[in-house]
Amino acid sequence: MKTSQGTTLIANAQLIDGTGRPPVPNAALVIHDGHISYAGPAADAPPLPPHTEKIDARGGSILPGLVEAHFHATYFNIAALEDLDIKYPVEYVSLLSSVNTRLALECGYTAARSGGCLFNVDVWLKKAIEEDLIAGPRLVASGREICSAGGLMDWNPDFRRIGMEGLVFIINGVEDARKAVRALVKDGVEWVKTYPTGDAASPDINDHHTLCMTFEEMHAVVATAHNHKLKVTGHCRATQGIKNALRAGYDAIEHGTFIDNEGLDLLLQRNVPCVPALYFEKASIVYGPEFGLSQRVIDGHQETLDAGAESARRILRAGGRLGMGGDYGFGWNPHGDYAKELTFFVKDVGLTPLEVITCATKTGAEIMGRDAELGTLEKGKLADVLIVDGDVIADIALLEDRTKFIAVMQGGIVKTGQIAKPFPTVVKREK
Ligand SMILES: [Zn+2]
């Protein structure tokens, strides 16, 4: 991805640098050749060269670009499980996913870590974004997911004779687990997404207290993935599933819903991050009836929401790490609503706005494995910056309103927002 050339000064705003430090009032951010060269009080800023470009932040907020830590580029606001895979061909889904990545960037998300996608679309989206051919967050790809036969993602009845091979590897035993990971290694993914447990969405046979993979299968996934320097995460709701994942060596936990004290200790021992993705549960409860979700499913989502909120609070208060991401891409929880996760964590879970922003920036970059370059506004880092017309500490919900964004920058280049120029179409010839 290209970076800006020359020097840019952003001033007249508070600076929230993403480290968790309190906001710096009347701050300045200086960008030189796409990287941050100064972040701090305007009064202490270094002298600037004569041709410095100046951006007026209008008394608002300067913060790191947000990181979506559980992004499904190929979920196009689906209403039923069938829509995830077999409704449309991968050609059409690929086109729709590029619309989702552009939208995510417009929503202030300059980076995202995939939580699974159809076929290997993520890896190629990442390439097109990195080469500035399409707009989107810097991506960490995960491709197809892994679930054991009969588990949550193996919902497609055999009599239909329609494969689900686009979304998941359905495995039986450790040999299948290794085989699936090896295919993902060849695909070029960075994170392997698995299904250790069920979900409220499947109350009959794979509910949120059910295990969907054996410990041996999970361990085989981790051993194979780690050998090839890939990381492993999983959809973990049930108490035992969380502990199995942590004991198997998982690098992150998605949801961590029914974590107990032993699970929390295991999580903290290796400082494994957790991405609760809670607004999805709230949206399922509020908007689910419009989409035909049964009362039984909605009751399960309520139980998941209550336990998930409590677990998230416990993890953060115990010194653990939370990423902000939200399973966006369902009809009741569509792409574009990403920052509702942040508002939800302040208003319903009880985190402070500063804590939530730190989770959504610094911790997100750590989960991506790119915290040396991204996630905070500190000297030397890439200038992925969000400038908001307003005080996001006083009102976190401002982050839900992209019309309030003065600029969304990647590598010092203004990509979207009020002061952006139209995204140029790049014509590129193969050498
Ligand atoms: Zn997900």
Q: Which two tokens stand for residue 72?
A: 């499904």
Distance 364 CA to ligand 1 centre (A): 15
CATH number 3.20.20.140 is the correct assignment for the domain at 66-368: yes
Among 269, 243, 87, residue whose Cα is nearest residue 160: 87
Distance 300 CA to ligand 1 centre (A): 17
- SS3 category, 195: coil
- Give every strand in the sheet of 53-64, ordered side by side: 35-41, 24-32, 7-15, 53-64, 385-388, 405-410, 413-416
- Are 85 and 164 in contact, with CB atoms under 8 Å apart? yes
What is the value of pTM for the model shown? 0.96
Distance 70 CA to ligand 1 centre (A): 6
DSSP 235-259: EE-SHHHHHHHHHHT-S-EEE-TT-
* Sequence-ordered strand ranges (E) for 5-108: 7-15, 24-32, 35-41, 53-64, 66-71
**Cα 106 vs. chain centroid, distance in angstroms?**
15
Q: Which two tokens stand for residue 204?
A: 């009959």
Mean pLDDT of the chain: 95
Return the sign of the alpha-carbon dihedral for residues 204, 214, 304, 78: negative
Distance between CA atoms of 289 and 20, rounded to whole angstroms? 38
Over 80: is that where the pLDDT of 341 sits? yes
Distance 102 CA to ligand 1 centre (A): 19
Angle at which helices 121-130 and 90-106 cross, to 10°: 50
- Are 320 and 271 in contact, with CB atoms under 8 Å apart? yes
- Are 241 and 257 in contact, with CB atoms under 8 Å apart? no
Dump pLDDT digits (tens) for 134-165.
999 999 999 999 999 999 988 887 777 666 77
Dump pLDDT digits (tens) for 217-244.
999 999 999 999 999 999 999 999 999 9
Distance 269 CA to ligand 1 centre (A): 25
Dump pLDDT digits (tens) for 164-201.
778 899 999 999 999 999 999 999 999 999 999 999 99
Distance 129 CA to ligand 1 centre (A): 22
List, in order, residues 6 or more apart from 18 with CB less than 8 Å away.
63, 64, 357, 358, 361, 362, 375, 376, 377
Q: The domain at 7-65+376-416 falls in which architecture?
A: Roll (2.30)
Query: DSSP character for 102?
Result: H
- Residue tagged 């939530």 (tokens): 356
Distance 296 CA to ligand 1 centre (A): 21
Q: What element of type H or E holds 222? A: helix 215-227
Distance 299 CA to ligand 1 centre (A): 20
Q: Look at the chain and count its residues.
A: 431
Question: What's the mean pLDDT in 88-98?
Answer: 91
Distance between CA atoms of 390 and 276, rounded to whole angstroms? 27
- SS3 category, 162: coil
Per-residue CA distances from 164 to 41, 91, 146, 151, 212 (Å): 54, 16, 11, 13, 17
- Give every strand in the sheet of 66-71, ordered side by side: 66-71, 109-114, 138-140
pLDDT given for residue 65 in this prediction: 98
Distance 255 CA to ligand 1 centre (A): 9
DSSP 265-299: HHHHHTT--EE---HHHHHHHHHGGGGT--HHHHH
Q: How many Cβ atoms sit within 10 Å of the Cβ of residue 214?
A: 18
Distance 34 CA to ligand 1 centre (A): 32
- Are 78 and 36 in contact, with CB atoms under 8 Å apart? no
Distance 395 CA to ligand 1 centre (A): 27
Q: What confidence tier does 41 reach under pLDDT thresholds 50, 70, 90?
A: very high
Radius of gyration (C-alpha) of the chain in whole angstroms: 21
Distance between CA atoms of 105 and 410, rounded to whole angstroms? 9
**Facing residues of 302 across strands?**
none
Query: DSSP character for 171?
Result: E
pLDDT given for residue 42 in this prediction: 98
Distance between CA atoms of 277 and 284, rounded to whole angstroms? 12
Distance 346 CA to ligand 1 centre (A): 22
Dump pLDDT digits (tens) for 356-412.
999 999 999 999 999 999 999 999 999 999 999 999 999 999 999 999 999 999 999
Q: What confidence tier does 258 reach under pLDDT thresholds 50, 70, 90?
A: very high
Distance between CA atoms of 21 and 63, rounded to whole angstroms? 12
Over 80: is that where the pLDDT of 84 sits? no
Query: DSSP character for 382?
Result: B
Domain boundaries, the chain: 7-65+376-416, 66-368
